Amino acid sequence: MSCILFDWGDTLMQVYPQYSGAMVNWPEVAALPGAVETLAVLHSGYHLAVATNAQDSDKTEIWAALQRVDLAEHLDKVYCFRSVGFCKPSQEFFHFILKDLDLLPEEVIMVGDDWEVDVQGAVQSGLRAIWLNRHSTEHCSGSGYQTIHSLLDLPQTLMHWGFR
């Protein structure tokens, strides 16, 4: 079964710059608009995982933060800097995940809000990627990447792209 990797901060969950430390301990946390609905739709057809560079949270804390906003039940795995030992956009980060999932690069898509770290890092590692650009109307597309402006657009984009 193919896998969709999601960046965590500002892709699945809102980052509040006024807070520091592990997100699970922040006084407020929120899923991004459309995150719960999109993951619920996609989970029946794909493995779903978080792939984050978060430095302040370990896997257990990330899972706990995801539970606070009802996202954890739709995710299968969490990959973070503390468990992988590398950060995006390094090829080592993505190759670690591919090996752990026992999947080929063409069987995995990365979805994230950071053009260079999430999208370019994934594409340079042989994966396809989707740029979640919620802050402008800029649209980039090419042979290995697409742009969406809302997580709610993801299921249709995957179908249009023929990702199964």
How many domains are contained in the chain?
1
Q: Tens digits of per-residue pLDDT, 19-36? A: 999 999 999 999 999 999
Distance CA(160)–CA(164), nearest Å, equals: 10
Q: Residue 108 sits in a domain of what CATH number?
A: 3.40.50.1000
Q: What are the tokens at 114?
A: 């950071």
**Whole-prediction pTM:** 0.96
Say if residue 27 is preceded by a cis peptide, omega within 30 of 0: no
Q: Tens digits of per-residue pLDDT, 98-127? A: 999 999 999 999 999 999 999 999 999 999
Query: By residue range, what is the domain housing residue 113?
Result: 3-161
Kindly give the confidence (pLDDT) of every residue in the chain, 164 residues in length, as a single tens digit, with 9 standing for 90 and above: 899 999 999 999 999 999 999 999 999 999 999 999 999 999 999 999 999 999 999 999 999 999 999 999 999 999 999 999 999 999 999 999 999 999 999 999 999 999 999 999 999 999 999 999 999 898 888 889 999 999 999 999 999 888 87
The pLDDT score that the predictor gives to residue 111 is: 98
